[in-house]
Amino acid sequence: MLIIGVTGGIGSGKSVVCKIFERLGIAVYNADTEAKNLMNTDTALIKEIKKQFGANMYSAKEGLNRKKMAEVVFKNKEQLEKLNNLVHPFVKKHFQKWKKENMNSKYLVKEAAILFESGADEDCDRIVTVVAPNDLRIKRVMERDEVTKERVEAIMKNQMSSTEKIKRSDFVVTNDNQYLVIPQVLELHESFLKQYKDYR
């Protein structure tokens, strides 16, 4: 099974790219979304998070207090790494289960903001990085999440630079509101289908 990793910094538009893959009939695993789900549903993971960050991170009604957790981890890189190290093994295990359930897809796409940082790139045969100018990324996230510029910049500071991601990737999709994204993804799709046939 050919597995394509799709990554990019916050606000780069990797989710837009992955939605196009989905429209093309390709199964997409969103590691960031699944990580959030697991932090609220997996009892073993919840237990570890409470142990490391305090039981007050959770409430009986709402589950994980994401705002409170964000305030802790985005101000402290060591705390962010601690959380990631807790969550990633659970996501990896969940992805393996999902992969078995989607073997009918021509190839699979794994979307993850911190694909390289988490070591999830090791599961991928090819990697696509989605890029956009920093000022545009900041604008997108501010409008989408209704957060301050400082908050977005703090998140960006904790992520691997686009330059480093590109160095470690096989393909780049530019999403800067000038280059059309769909033709870029269609070209990649055709390439991946050819590799699928070659695998067969």
Which tens digits make up the pLDDT trace of 62-121?
A: 899 998 998 898 878 889 999 999 999 999 999 999 999 999 999 999 999 999 988 999
Q: Which residue has the tokens 């295990």?
A: 93
Residues 106-147: tens digit of each pLDDT: 999 999 999 998 899 998 999 999 999 999 999 999 999 999
pTM of the model: 0.91
Domains held by the chain: number = 1
The token duo for 182 is 């769909």
Rounded Cα gap, residues 55 and 30, in angstroms: 27
The overall average pLDDT reported for the chain is 93
CATH code (residue 101): 3.40.50.300
Query: Position 66: which residue type?
Result: R
Q: Per-residue pLDDT for 200 more than 60?
A: no
Report the sign of the C-alpha dihedral through residues 56, 30, 171, 180, in that order.
negative
Pairing of strands 63-64, 58-59: antiparallel
Count CB atoms within 10 A of the CB of residue 75.
Answer: 11
Task: Please report, to the nearest 10 degrees, the dihedral formed by the alpha carbons of residues 55, 156, 183, 188 taken in order.
Answer: -70
Rounded Cα gap, residues 120 and 16, in angstroms: 20
Range of the domain at 138: 3-199
